[in-house]
Structure 1
Amino acid sequence: MQRIHSSLNSDLSFSRIAFGLWRLTDWGYSPQQRLALFEQMLDLGVTTFDLADIYGDYRCEQFFGEALKLKPALRARMEIVSKCSIRLAGAASGARINHYDTSPQHVRSAVETSLRDMGIEQMDLLLLHRPDPLMDAEALAGVLEQLVAEGKVKHLGVSNYLPHQTELLQSRLSQPLVANQIEVSLLHSQPMFDGQLDHCQQHRVIPMAWSPFAGGRLFTGEDADAARVQQSLRALSQTRGLAADSGVMQLALAWLLKHPAQMIPVLGSGNPERLVAALKALDLELDREEWFELLRAGRGRDVD
């Protein structure tokens, strides 16, 4: 398995594909079954595990921690990514309405709760989940750097931030933001044109691509845009001699992996066979015309 290194931090590296656990509570697995799945992913070279405090109505990190507790030695083989700054209404958060919260008090509380729920002492990467219009960059930077100094967080990043939002926070930090997790897929290629991926390359920020299959639309073809892309993927899959269903998945990932920003797709499936098939995308290399053919399908128009 290839790895992605940040030249800004020689000790930071992630697996080329990350394992997303936002549906962990939906899979119906026992702690032992979760542990077996985690071990299988690690053995395949998928070492980066992506979570957030709100996933599974604030329960995914607990489910992750229950499994990891059965074999704590696995922690040394993992990069654990988590997020905070969204507060969902309900008893779990005590919030009356959904909102964003980057106040120092909330960020510290969220990080310490995540560490306790996962049963770990430090997360490898903390991402701020969504931009907060009420963000006090000075105050936020202060608590983030305290958490790093205390050893509770190793590296800092953002999620769904536009370049100017990233730059504002970065201007108050003494250490680099090293990742930005953004939505990117054949049906959401805007980050390739609106400056997000350019900014990542310019500042050597690692882009993590969430929803790489457009929320499953590439498989269902449930609307005109998705059907058009699915048809293009199936045609290329047939040309390449790939299996029909897995070929669509592999080519959609290969399209992301070819981008020079070195995106890390985040895959969220509890089906081991599906994950193994997806990893074969690492062995596919699209040529330039194939790549633009898929881009054309995704955007519904040719380049100018």
Structure 2
Amino acid sequence: MERIDITPDLTFSRLVYGMWRLGDDADTSDKHIRAKLDACLSQGITTMDHADIYGGYTVEGLFGRVLKATPSLRDQIEIVTKCDILVPAGRHSAARLKYYDTSAAHITASLETSLKELGTDHVDLLLIHRPDPFMDPDETGPALDALVASGKVRAVGVSNFRPWDFSLLQSSMENNLSANQIELSLACTDPFTNGDLAYLQERMIVPMAWSPLGGGGLMDGSKPALAAALKRIADEQGIDEAAVAVAWLLAHPARILPVLGTNNLSRIARIGEAAKVEIDRQTWFELYTLAIGKEVP
């Protein structure tokens, strides 16, 4: 599978497996989680996307049990995790409400907990999960730099940041922010025209796309013409409609990394099909036109 440079000495698989729903599966046994991991690795999908908050702060621990049982797996994967969202659940059950914390103390403590839960001495990419309206960039930026210097984090980035949020944080940092994970799909096309994607392209920053299938909404019939086009292209190329929707993102020159989070083992085994789909310029615009519901200007 194609790999994308995150930093000069760190690459990610072009398709990323997301752990958001791992704790929602009926089967969270080590055996079942290992089967998902093996299904990814067999296709060259080596990058695993986490966040401390996933599963009410439980998912990192579930995945970590598998890594602790077979430590050699750590050398075969890259781990992404995120911090700064606090909700009244799990280890933060004492919180009075949902809020964000980008203080140096919280970022550092959150990473230490993630390392313990995951059973590793470092993560490959740490992301600030959501823009914090109370963020002090002169505290947050140096805190991220310090974690890179410590070797506990190989690279840092953000998630859901608008260009101005990104620039503010970057202005207080020595290390480059290496990625921005944003919502991006045929169901969420605004970043293609509102400047979010252009900002990342201009700076050669890796865009990671969460919910690349629109939470499953692309095939639910709410946009019948788009669903029909996806099915037609899928039938022509002998693959699944979901693979076509993901391939639409892969075809874009911004080097987008879709983050896919299905719990279904048979679907996980087919994620790699997206890399085989051919999407030419007119087909890309056909799907885009159907997604936005009108002809381009």
TM-score grouping bracket, smaller chain normalisation? over 0.9
Q: Is the CA contact (8 Å cut-off) linking 1:218 and 1:227 kept in structure 2?
A: no
Aligned partners of 2:117, 2:281: CA distance in 1, in Å?
45
- Distance 1:32-1:296 versus aligned 2 partners, 3 A rule: same
The letter of the residue matching 1:89 is: P
Which residue does the alignment assign to 1:276?
269
Q: Is the CA contact (8 Å cut-off) linking 1:131 and 1:160 kept in structure 2?
A: yes
Aligned partners of 2:34, 2:264: CA distance in 1, in Å?
14
* More off after superposition, 102-111 vs 132-141: 102-111
The letter of the residue matching 1:211 is: S
Q: Alpha-carbon deviations, 1:9-44, whole Å to 9, x = none?
A: 211110010000111112213112212321231122
The letter of the residue matching 1:19 is: Y
Equivalence map 1:39-188=2 (5 Å): 39-93=38-92, 94-188=94-188
Which residue does the alignment assign to 1:38?
37
Q: Is the CA contact (8 Å cut-off) linking 2:58 and 2:90 kept in structure 1?
A: no
Aligned partners of 2:144, 2:247: CA distance in 1, in Å?
35
Equivalent residue pairs, number: 295
Identity value in percent: 43
Aligned partners of 2:32, 2:140: CA distance in 1, in Å?
38
Aligned partners of 1:257, 1:43: CA distance in 2, in Å?
20
- Distance 1:298-1:77 versus aligned 2 partners, 3 A rule: same
By how many angstroms is 1:219 displaced? Answer: 2.2
Which residue does the alignment assign to 2:232?
235
Structure 2 gaps, min length 5? none
Aligned partners of 2:50, 2:225: CA distance in 1, in Å?
32
Which residue does the alignment assign to 1:294?
287
RMSD: 1.3
By how many angstroms is 1:91 displaced? Answer: 4.8
Aligned partners of 2:237, 2:136: CA distance in 1, in Å?
53
By how many angstroms is 1:231 displaced? Answer: 2.1
Tell me, what secondary structure is at the counterpart of 2:181? strand
Q: Is the CA contact (8 Å cut-off) linking 1:258 and 1:286 kept in structure 2?
A: yes
- Of the three residues 18, 28, 38, the one matched with 1:20 is 18
Structure 1 gaps, min length 5? none
Equivalence map 1:237-256=2 (5 Å): 237-238=234-235, 240-243=236-239, 246=240, 248-256=241-249
The letter of the residue matching 1:160 is: N
Q: Is the CA contact (8 Å cut-off) linking 1:158 and 1:177 kept in structure 2?
A: yes
* More off after superposition, 195-204 vs 28-37: 28-37
By how many angstroms is 1:147 displaced? Answer: 1.3
The letter of the residue matching 1:254 is: A
TM-score (norm 1): 0.94
Q: Is the CA contact (8 Å cut-off) linking 1:90 and 1:96 kept in structure 2?
A: no
Alignment pair present for 1:2 and 2:5:
no
